[in-house]
């Protein structure tokens, strides 16, 4: 486990901690980069000229709610556990500009708590051990290289208000054990749990290829058993996630989980289903022209699932290791039809989708076809906007706070 000690400290000043766990990418360029970085609080939200102001203002609502939960959870840890050290883990930290934002948020909370407490009581706040987790392919070196600058900034802004803290990295999949038993007090996981450990195995069967041919995900035309296969894969993965975190958490520990969800079973209004259909159409066209092989297309399925809130709650209750402190589903209409520039917006949305998924597509189809693939995809997205297939779609996020179940 890589580790770096900083005292005093470093984190970013960033409102955008919600997206800290976006998939690691080194190719967020052009409009795609703007799409991802629109959460930055330095952006002037009143003048951002693109089709998703709804998206930005909605994400502010999600961020405010998540920050409030994180603040209360952090204060409770400091006030009730009476430990010399608290370990907080960011699962799926990534390596972009938001990789340290959870560290920043927690330290901001603790510095304010320390300031209040110094006037009320003598008890010393605990040291904080932060552990950043992501897959081994994540660029942890760039994260650690950025710490010195963050340290300088935080020292200038907050002086001596912060307790000592330490930052380490642990690579590995959160779809299994990562840490020794009872060594963590709090897990934070944002925009990561919708990624499955693998696409459902059933989709590799001849029957699945025949019945879901040309699709990279389940769509409005997929048979019900395809949807069920995704649902079951998520259930298995999320159950394993909960079992692992239960073992790793100490008594009194908890977790804050934020990830994409769905409003209901109707796939017609779900944006990702529409986007995946358009992307599938682009791949199918290239397969028909012989640019990519049909066999490769048939073998590709997105390892992604956005669950219903009730599905998530049911898995937690059945697994019975955690109490649900609170659970929310926040939804919004994706595009603002009054601010559409069809060609520009199609390109921007395609580049945003590329920024989040490029490594996945490059691994399966190769780098050589990506530029043409996303050009075709951008054209189809623009056509989808023109035909009003995307303007009424919704995006939803699940926010759920858990506390480890303590045996009576």
Q: Which residue has the tokens 């799926």?
A: 92
Provide the pLDDT for residue 349.
Answer: 83
Other C-beta atoms lying within 10 Å of the C-beta of residue 377: 24
Provide the pLDDT for residue 250.
Answer: 96
Q: Which residue has the tokens 């601010």?
A: 339
Provide the pLDDT for residue 8.
Answer: 30
The whole-angstrom separation of Cα 345 and Cα 342 is 5
Q: Say whether 41 sits in a helix, a strand or coil.
A: coil
Check: CB of residue 13 under 8 Å from CB of residue 104. yes
Q: For every one of its 408 residues, what pLDDT tens digit does the chain have, with 9 covering 90 and above?
A: 554 433 333 323 222 223 323 333 333 333 333 333 333 333 333 434 444 545 666 677 788 888 899 999 998 888 888 888 999 999 998 887 788 889 988 988 888 876 666 555 556 778 899 999 999 989 999 999 998 888 888 878 776 656 788 999 999 999 999 999 999 999 999 989 999 999 999 998 888 888 888 889 988 888 899 999 999 999 999 999 999 999 999 999 999 999 999 888 766 667 788 888 999 999 999 999 999 999 999 999 999 999 999 999 999 999 999 999 999 998 887 666 556 667 777 888 888 888 888 889 999 999 999 999 999 999 998 888 777 777 777 788 999 999 999 876
Q: Say whether 380 sits in a helix, a strand or coil.
A: helix
Other C-beta atoms lying within 10 Å of the C-beta of residue 281: 17
Q: Which residue has the tokens 């991802």?
A: 36
C-alpha distance across the termini of the chain, in Å: 35
Q: Say whether 147 sits in a helix, a strand or coil.
A: helix
Provide the pLDDT for residue 208.
Answer: 85
Could you tell me whether strands 249-261 and 127-134 are parallel, antiparallel, or unpaired per DSSP bridges? Answer: unpaired
Q: Say whether 168 sits in a helix, a strand or coil.
A: strand
Q: Which residues contact 290 (CB under 8 A, 6 or more apart)?
A: none
Domains belonging to the chain, first-starting first, are 2-404 (3.40.50.150)
Provide the pLDDT for residue 306.
Answer: 92
């Amino acid at each position: 486990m890589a580790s770096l000690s900083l005292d005093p400290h470093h984190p970013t000043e960033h409102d955008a901690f919600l997206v800290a766990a976006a998939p690691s990418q080194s190719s967020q360029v052009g409009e795609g980069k703007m799409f991802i970085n629109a959460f930055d609080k330095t952006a002037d939200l009143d003048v951002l000229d693109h089709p998703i102001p709804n998206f930005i203002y909605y994400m502010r609502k999600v961020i405010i709610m998540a920050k409030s939960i994180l603040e209360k959870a952090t204060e409770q840890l400091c006030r009730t556990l009476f430990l010399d050290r608290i370990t907080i883990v960011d699962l799926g930290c990534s390596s972009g500009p938001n990789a340290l934002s959870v560290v920043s948020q927690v330290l901001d909370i603790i510095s304010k708590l320390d300031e209040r407490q110094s006037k009320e009581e003598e008890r010393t706040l605990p040291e904080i051990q932060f552990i950043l987790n992501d897959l081994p392919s994540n660029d942890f070196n760039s994260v650690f290289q950025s710490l010195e600058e963050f340290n300088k900034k935080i020292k200038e802004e907050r002086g001596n208000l912060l307790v000592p803290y330490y930052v380490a990295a642990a690579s590995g999949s959160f779809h299994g054990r990562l840490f020794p038993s009872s060594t963590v007090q709090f897990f934070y996981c944002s925009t990561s749990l919708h990624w499955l450990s693998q696409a459902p195995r059933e989709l590799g069967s001849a029957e699945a290829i025949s019945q879901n041919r040309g699709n990279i995900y389940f769509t409005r035309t997929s048979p019900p058993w395809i949807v069920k296969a995704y649902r079951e894969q998520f259930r298995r993965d999320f159950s394993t996630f909960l079992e692992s975190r239960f073992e790793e958490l100490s008594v009194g520990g908890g977790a804050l989980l934020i990830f994409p969800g769905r409003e209901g079973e109707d796939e017609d209004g779900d944006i990702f289903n529409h986007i995946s259909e358009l992307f599938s159409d682009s791949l199918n066209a290239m397969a028909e022209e012989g640019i990519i092989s049909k066999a490769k297309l048939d073998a590709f399925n997105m390892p992604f699932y956005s669950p219903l809130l009730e599905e998530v709650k049911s898995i937690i209750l059945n697994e019975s290791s955690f109490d649900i402190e609170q659970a929310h589903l926040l939804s919004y209409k994706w595009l603002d039809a009054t601010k559409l520039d069809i060609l520009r917006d199609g390109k921007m949305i395609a580049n945003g989708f590329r920024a989040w998924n490029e490594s996945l597509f490059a691994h399966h189809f190769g780098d050589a076809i990506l530029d043409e693939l996303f050009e075709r995809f951008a054209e189809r997205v623009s056509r989808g906007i023109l035909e009003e297939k995307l303007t009424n779609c919704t995006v939803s996020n699940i926010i759920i706070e858990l506390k480890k179940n303590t045996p009576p």
